[in-house]
Structure 1
Amino acid sequence: MPTRRSTPPQSLSAHSGPVPDREAVDTAAARPVRFGALGTSSFGGRRVLPAMTACPQTELVAVGGRSPERSQRFADRFGCAGSSMAALLERDDIDAVYISLPPSLHGEWAARALHAGKHVLVEKPIATTAAEARAVVRLAEDRDLVLRENFMFLHHPQHDAVAALIAEGRLGGLRSFRGAFCFPPLPTEDIRYVPGLGGGALLDAGVYPLRAAAMLLGPGLRVAGATARVRQSDGLDLSGQALLVSPSGVLASVEFGFEHAYGSSYSLWGEGAKLTVGRAFTPPAAYQPVLVLEEQDHVEKFTLPAADQLTASLAGFAAAVTAGGAAASPREARWRQDAVAMMELVDAVRAQAVRVTVEG
């Protein structure tokens, strides 16, 4: 079977903005969006806060966490003010709040930030249940504030390339989607092993392939079945699978967990071809994605430009705030609807999962 490497056609070329934000917003002359960071997570310290200080559209003003000592260390490191969490929300020099607390606190502190009049960028998941997500979304709507989950992969242009190939008919009629996000076991003290803090593989890893399925197959996905490997001591889910179906009849399967070798991919299979994305959720900024299109008689590879999805996420959020808030940016309604729909899928996977107990 011959293999051909292809330069992406015009419709597959990368663009500078995040995938869901098609509007071109000129923020060159605008004041950067001033952020306060709620939480001193390892991920925030390693990835998001350094990017926030480097992004021209954002400025880190203060950090507040559950530990005053750790908050001050973060503040010293990033050259900003240290604060308590409650005091941070009272600052009048902050436009928006970035939340990287444990998942069980996302909904509560997102609501508190919205009540304080701050726009909110919250790490996924937005909450731990659909009911909590709906409450936070209603609050953002009532106050006309921007509310987004920091699902960085949604801002990578490789998914535009996938959508373009589908739209051009290269796959024919879609029949199935398969996505997976798995990685090795975590350190034993990691908060993702603590049920009371919103731990578990579904909320941490499963939401990625679920969100990818919704991104490419559209709204209205239904859960047809699920399984989960759960820890005997407390029922924490360590890994799992789910089967879904779209309103148009496309079948989807997702796999997730933190007891595997690393894997981050999805594929779409149509009547004419199969398309695979190998680094779907966490591609490094310098990585050049390669989409693999397999037809019966040949394989075609599309090499795309590298892109920094974290910076694109921050810039897209800042653009929405600078444009005048949620009402001035019609895309914001879609962000809020998708966040609620994702938590509805999570609730359905939980409800339907056949649980297999393991020692863990």
Structure 2
Amino acid sequence: MEVAVTGAEERPVRLGALGTSSIAWRRVLPTVVRTPELRLTAVAGRSEARSRRFAERFGCAAETDAAALLDRPDIDAVYISTPTGLHRRFAEQALRAGKHVLVEKPVGVDAAEARALCALAAERGLVLRENFMFPHHPQHAHVRDLMDTGRLGRPASFRAAFCVPPLSKDDIRYDARLGGGALLDVGVYPLRAASLLLGPGLEVAGATLRVRAEDGLDLSGQVLLVSPSGVLAELSFGFEHAYASSYTVWGDRARVTVTRAFTPPPAHQPLVVLEEQDREERLLLPAADQLQLLLEAFARQVRAGGAGAAESGVRAEAVAAMELVDAVRATARCVAVE
């Protein structure tokens, strides 16, 4: 049963936070509290002390557990920032409680989990969105426009990388039981970027994963995709590199590179480099807070309800993304490293 948020468009969507993660503390909840379309009502985490700490900082109530938070009638939607391996469990509970859901990416650990949650959201008429921020940044629409207007000519290749240095040894992203691994944490970004710019129907032509010898957890990888029109995409990701967050679309007339593709800070002015045979154009675009844009879009959709073609499209994209992840796993040659 859907929680109604009709009758007063000016009323903010009342949000509950389920999970007391680092990203919730550093980035998401500070943005929520300064977004007029949302109001943070309550938070519940893995310990009462941690929940109280969050509640004191963000000016909301602290609940003892997920069940208590989901039982609150003054919550319209839930933001879930638990470890990836728990996304399906808590998103399902929230949807069954009649709450719209914004869940940290990815929506689940595989396509089966994504399909199950998307089907439940559709059945209940509720919004289900992943907290994939980067597609909301206007710099990608600028690149898309360059492609659509023929400035690049006919695209032939796409290259993308999202890599970060090794994490602290106790980081949950190194815990396979909680949905850890580089593919689900950073690999999904270049996969999504390829889909965003090359369209649906991508197929995995090859993949390699460097995996931890002791348990097979993927630490980094490379993927080769091919689009229905024959564009080749080379993707790199991992926890074993100096930081990289970029992509290039290369056509027969020019190529364009986004230098800070996935995690630009809100005040960052994106640099898009357009290279032609005898000239280079460096375009400095306006800064934008991609998270706030995502949150505003989520709030608008909650007010509009979870039905309709737009929501069906979003759910289809989420499932297709996880089908690519499954295909990478099935295709990959794994190389064990100590």
State the TM-score, normalized to the length of structure 1.
Answer: 0.90
Matched, 1:98 2:59: no
Indicate the residue corresponding to 2:41 in structure 1. 61
State the TM-score, normalized to the length of structure 2.
Answer: 0.96
1:314-348 deviation line (CA, Å, top 9, x unaligned): 0000011112x1225x3222211110001000011
Matched, 1:342 2:321: yes
Indicate the residue corresponding to 1:306 in structure 2. 287
Which runs of 5 or more residues in structure 1 are unaligned?
Answer: 1-26
Indicate the residue corresponding to 1:49 in structure 2. 29
Instruction: Measure, in 2, the Cα distance between the counterparts of 1:267 and 1:28.
Output: 44
Indicate the residue corresponding to 2:11 in structure 1. 31
- SS for the counterpart of 1:297 is coil
Matched, 1:357 2:336: yes
Matched, 1:232 2:193: no
Indicate the residue corresponding to 2:3 in structure 1. none
Instruction: Measure, in 1, the Cα distance between the counterparts of 2:33 and 2:119.
Output: 30
Indicate the residue corresponding to 1:250 in structure 2. 231
1:191-249 deviation line (CA, Å, top 9, x unaligned): 00000000000000000000000001111110011001111111111000100011111
- SS for the counterpart of 2:336 is strand
Indicate the residue corresponding to 1:72 in structure 2. 52
Q: Matches of residues 213-232 of structure 1 in structure 2 within 5 Å?
A: 213-232=194-213
Indicate the residue corresponding to 1:191 in structure 2. 172
Matched, 1:114 2:119: no
Calculate percent identity across the aligned residue pairs: 65
The one-letter code sitting in structure 2 at the alignment partner of 1:339 is A
Instruction: Measure, in 1, the Cα distance between the counterparts of 2:22 and 2:307.
Output: 33
Contact 1:30 1:322 in 2 (8 A): no
Contact 1:38 1:65 in 2 (8 A): yes
- SS for the counterpart of 1:31 is coil
- SS for the counterpart of 2:296 is helix
1:113-150 deviation line (CA, Å, top 9, x unaligned): 00000000000010001011100000000011011001
Cα distance, 1:183 vs structure 2: 0.6
Q: Matches of residues 273-352 of structure 1 in structure 2 within 5 Å?
A: 273-323=254-304, 325-327=305-307, 330-352=309-331
Indicate the residue corresponding to 1:143 in structure 2. 124
- SS for the counterpart of 1:244 is strand
Contact 1:265 1:276 in 2 (8 A): yes
Indicate the residue corresponding to 1:18 in structure 2. none
Instruction: Measure, in 1, the Cα distance between the counterparts of 2:312 and 2:218.
Output: 31
Cα distance, 1:65 vs structure 2: 1.2
Instruction: Measure, in 1, the Cα distance between the counterparts of 2:152 and 2:39.
Output: 43
Contact 2:9 2:303 in 1 (8 A): no
Which runs of 5 or more residues in structure 2 are unaligned?
Answer: 1-6
Indicate the residue corresponding to 2:61 in structure 1. 81
Instruction: Measure, in 2, the Cα distance between the counterparts of 1:271 and 1:107.
Output: 43
Cα distance, 1:253 vs structure 2: 1.1
Over aligned residue pairs, what C-alpha RMSD do you find? 1.2
Q: Greater RCO between the two (CA within 8 Å, min separation 6)?
A: 1
